[in-house]
Amino acid sequence: MSKTSTNGMCEHCGAGFKYQIIHNGFNESSYAYCDSCGMTALLDGWKAPQGIDIPIHQEIAPRTEPLLQPCTCGGTFKASAAPRGPRCAEVLSAEKATAWIEEDAAGTSMGWRWQRSWRGLYCIIVDDRVVHDNWCASVRAT
C-alpha cells in the first residue's frame, strides 16, 4: 500500500501535511527515521552494499545505524526514532495517526487496519521528506 494524501495532521501544533504510507513488504525495503527532524530513510534490500545484512520488511536494526549517512538536518537515522511533525518537529503518535491514516486508506472498507506503531511492516513519509539508500561512502566502497 502506498498512497499520497493531504490529510495528515500533527497533534502537537495542528499543522496539516501530505504523507505516504510505505508497505515495506512490497518494496523489499527497510526504513529508519531521523532522530531530530523525522525524515524517513528507505533502504532497498536489493541494493544494500555487499556484505551488509539489513532486516527487510521492517525498521533497521541498531547495528545498521552507523552505516548510514547523517540526515541533512544533522540528526541520525535510528531504529528507535519516529516521524515528526513537519513544522514543530515533535514526535507524531502512531496511535493518534490511526484516525487520518485509516480514513484515507482505500483498504479500510475491506478490513485493513493501521498497525498503530511506527515499527513494523509499514512506515510513513511526511511531506515528501525521504532519502533513499543513504549508505556511508565507506560502506558503498566495499
Neighbours of 30 (CB within 10 A): 23
Q: Are 92 and 101 in contact (CB under 8 A)?
A: no
Whole-number pLDDT of residue 142: 57
How far, in Å, are 12, 37, 115 from residue 129 at the CA level? 19, 9, 21
Query: 41 near 32, Cβ under 8 Å?
Result: yes
Query: What is the number of domains present in the chain?
Result: 1
Q: Decide if 114 contacts 95 (C-beta within 8 A).
A: no
Alpha-helix residue ranges (DSSP H) falling in the chain:
24-27, 94-104, 137-140
Per-residue pLDDT tens over the stretch 20-43: 999 999 989 999 999 999 999 999
Distance between first and last Cα of the chain: 33
How do residues 109-132 score in pLDDT, each as one tens digit?
A: 999 999 999 999 999 999 999 999
**Cα–Cα distance measured from residue 104 to residue 83, given in angstroms and rounded to the nearest whole number:** 18
pTM of the model: 0.92
Q: Name the residue range of residue 112's domain.
A: 4-140
What is the rounded distance in angstroms from the CA atom of residue 110 to the CA atom of residue 122? 18
For 9-25, how does the pLDDT look when each residue is reduced to its tens digit (9 = 90+)? Answer: 999 999 999 999 999 99
Query: For residues 60 and 41, what is the distance between their CA atoms, to the nearest angstrom?
Result: 10
